[in-house]
Structure 1
Amino acid sequence: MPKTTNTPSLVILDMLVGKEWRHLRLTRQEAKAFIRKTPNHRGYQITPIPDEPKR
């Protein structure tokens, strides 16, 4: 059975704040917290980053 690491998966958060797009690389929990802390955003998109294969 392969060992699994307990590292959180990363996502890309694209958020429209005012007239500017913010492009952030965060964990899923950090992205949710950032969305809650930014009440003046006009929209967002969360894109998962696929895990890199181990060599």
Structure 2
Amino acid sequence: MVSREILQAWLHGFEKSGSFSGTALIAHHGEPVLLEAVGFTNREHNLLNRQLY
């Protein structure tokens, strides 16, 4: 399971740079990201979903 801290750092990097690779995160950790399980807000969840899917 990807930790909330890792996802928060990744999201913060996206917000600063304007881009990131969802597939790179999933490939690196080898499993789907379960955003609800780490307590992401709807705004964070929607932002990540647009990049992941």
User: Normalising by the residue count of structure 2, what TM-score does the alignment of the two structures yield?
Assistant: 0.29
The structure with the larger Rg is: 1
User: Normalising by the residue count of structure 1, what TM-score does the alignment of the two structures yield?
Assistant: 0.29
**Which protein has greater RCO, CA pairs closer than 8 Å, 6+ apart?**
2
